[in-house]
Structure 1
Amino acid sequence: MTEPTLTVEQQIHQAGPVVLTVTGELDHHTAPQLSQALDHAPLGDGRALVIDLSGLAYCDSTGITVLVTAYHRAQSAGSSLSLAGLSHDLTRVFQTVGLDQVFTLHPGLDDALAALRP
Structure 2
Amino acid sequence: MRHDHGLTVTLQPHTARIRVLAVAGDLDHHTSPSLQAVMDELTLAAGDGLVIELTGLTFCDSTGISLLVAAHQRAQDAGAALALAGLHSDIAHVFEIMGLDRLFSFYDTTEKAATALR
Q: How high is the TM-score relative to the length of structure 1?
A: 0.91
Shift of 1:38: 0.9
The residue type paired with residue 12 of structure 2 is Q
Q: Which residue of 2 aligns with 1:34?
A: 35
Q: Give the secondary-structure state (helix, strand or coil) at the position aligned to 2:47.
A: coil
Q: Which residue of 1 aligns with 2:95?
A: 94
Number of positions where the alignment pairs a residue of Structure 1 with one of Structure 2: 115
Distance 1:20 1:46 in 2: 17
Q: CA RMSD in A?
A: 1.4
Q: Give the secondary-structure state (helix, strand or coil) at the position aligned to 2:46.
A: coil
Matches within 5 A, 1:1-118: 4-14=5-15, 16-117=17-118
Distance 1:99 1:61 in 2: 12
Q: Give the secondary-structure state (helix, strand or coil) at the position aligned to 1:33.
A: helix
* Unmatched 5+ stretches in structure 2: none
Question: Any conservation in 1 of the 2:10–2:23 contact (CA below 8 Å)?
Answer: yes
Distance 1:116 1:102 in 2: 15
* Unmatched 5+ stretches in structure 1: none
- The percentage of counterpart residues that share the same residue type is 49
Distance 1:72 1:114 in 2: 21
Q: How high is the TM-score relative to the length of structure 2?
A: 0.91
